[in-house]
Structure 1
Amino acid sequence: MAIESSIMVLLSPFSATGYSSRWLGNGWPKPTRGGGPMKAKWSIWLALFAVFALVAAACGDDDDASSSGPIKIGVLNPTTSFLATLGLDGNAGIEYYFNTEVGGEIAGRPIELVIEDTAADPVLALTKAQKLVERDNVDIILGPLDTPEGLAVRDYIQDQGVPWVLHVGAGWAPDNLSERGPYSFMVAPTNPQQHFAMAEYAYDEMGYRSMIVSALDYEPGQEIAAGFKEAFEAKGGTIVDTVLIPLGAADTAPYITQMLDQADEADAVNAALWAPAAIGFVNEGRELGLFDAIDVMGFHTLSPDLLDLEEQGENALGITTYYWYMLYNDYPANQEWVESFTEATGNSPNVWTAFGYMGAKAIGEAIEGADGDVSPDAFADAMYNVSFDSPAGPFEMDEHGQGVHTVWIAEVESVDGDVRNIVKDSIPDVDQFYGGFISPPS
Structure 2
Amino acid sequence: MKKFMTLFLTIGILIFPMGIGSLQKARAAEPIKIGTLLDLTGPMAFLGPLLKSGIVKALEEVNYTVAGRKIELIAEDTANDMNVSLEKTKKLVELDKVHIILGPLMGDAQMAIAPYLADKKVLASTFYSGTGELHTKFKNWLNYPTTLVGMTIPLGYYAAELGYKEIITLGGDYEGGRGFIQGIKLGFEAKGGKVIQQIWTPVGTTDFGPYLSMLKKADCLAYFVPAPPEQVRLLKQRKEFGIKIPVLGTILTGQLVDPILAELGDIAVGLQGQAVYVASRKDPLNEKWVAEMTKQFGHPPGDFESNSYAITKAVLAGLKATNGDDSFNKLWPAVLKVKINTPQGPLAFSQEGVAIVNGYIVEVKKKEGKYYFDIVKTYEKVVDPTMKKK
How many angstroms apart in 2 are the aligned matches of 1:311 and 1:254?
A: 23
Counterpart of 1:90 (choices 33, 51, 60) is: 51
Task: Show the counterpart of 2:35.
Answer: 74
Report the residue type matching 2:297 in the other structure: T
- Per the TM alignment, residue 241 of structure 1 is displaced from its structure 2 partner at its CA by 0.9
Task: Show the counterpart of 2:339.
Answer: 387
CA distance 1:61–1:345, shift in 2 (3 Å): farther
How many angstroms apart in 1 are the aligned matches of 2:26 and 2:181?
A: 45
- Per the TM alignment, residue 72 of structure 1 is displaced from its structure 2 partner at its CA by 0.6
Task: Show the counterpart of 2:208.
Answer: 252
- Per the TM alignment, residue 175 of structure 1 is displaced from its structure 2 partner at its CA by 6.2
Counterpart of 1:198 (choices 155, 166, 169) is: 155
- Per the TM alignment, residue 328 of structure 1 is displaced from its structure 2 partner at its CA by 2.1
Task: Show the counterpart of 2:3.
Answer: none
Counterpart of 2:141 (choices 168, 171, 184) is: 184
Counterparts of 1:40-439 in structure 2 under 5 Å?
67-99=28-60, 101-170=61-130, 173-174=131-132, 177-181=135-139, 183-204=140-161, 206-259=162-215, 262=216, 265-275=217-227, 276-290=229-243, 293-301=244-252, 303-306=255-258, 308-433=260-385, 437-439=386-388
Contact 2:145 2:151 in 1 (8 A): no
CA distance 1:346–1:197, shift in 2 (3 Å): closer
Report the residue type matching 1:121 in the other structure: D
How many angstroms apart in 2 are the aligned matches of 1:62 and 1:298?
A: 54
Contact 1:305 1:420 in 2 (8 A): no
How many angstroms apart in 2 are the aligned matches of 1:339 and 1:350?
A: 12
CA distance 1:93–1:312, shift in 2 (3 Å): same
How many angstroms apart in 1 are the aligned matches of 2:294 and 2:200?
A: 37
Unpaired segments ≥5 residues, structure 1:
1-52
CA distance 1:64–1:210, shift in 2 (3 Å): farther
- Per the TM alignment, residue 133 of structure 1 is displaced from its structure 2 partner at its CA by 0.4
Larger Rg: 1
SS in 1 for 2:277: coil
- Per the TM alignment, residue 62 of structure 1 is displaced from its structure 2 partner at its CA by 7.4
Contact 2:177 2:226 in 1 (8 A): no
- Per the TM alignment, residue 70 of structure 1 is displaced from its structure 2 partner at its CA by 1.2
SS in 2 for 1:240: strand
1:47-86 deviation digits (Å, cap 9, x = unpaired) = xxxxxx9xx97x9987666555311100001111111112
SS in 1 for 2:357: strand
Aligned-CA RMSD value? 2.2
- Per the TM alignment, residue 329 of structure 1 is displaced from its structure 2 partner at its CA by 2.0
Task: Show the counterpart of 1:41.
Answer: none
Contact 1:278 1:308 in 2 (8 A): no
SS in 2 for 1:103: coil
Unpaired segments ≥5 residues, structure 2:
1-14
SS in 1 for 2:384: coil
- Per the TM alignment, residue 98 of structure 1 is displaced from its structure 2 partner at its CA by 0.9
How many angstroms apart in 1 are the aligned matches of 2:221 and 2:291?
A: 35
How many angstroms apart in 2 are the aligned matches of 1:294 and 1:383?
A: 44
How many angstroms apart in 1 are the aligned matches of 2:76 and 2:22?
A: 27
CA distance 1:196–1:169, shift in 2 (3 Å): closer
Report the residue type matching 1:203 in the other structure: A
How many angstroms apart in 2 are the aligned matches of 1:127 and 1:235?
A: 44
Contact 2:276 2:360 in 1 (8 A): yes
SS in 2 for 1:244: strand
Report the residue type matching 1:280 in the other structure: R
1:204-263 deviation digits (Å, cap 9, x = unpaired) = 2x111111111101011112222322332232212121111111112222222222xx2x
Count of paired positions: 372
CA distance 1:62–1:359, shift in 2 (3 Å): farther
CA distance 1:346–1:230, shift in 2 (3 Å): closer
CA distance 1:329–1:376, shift in 2 (3 Å): same
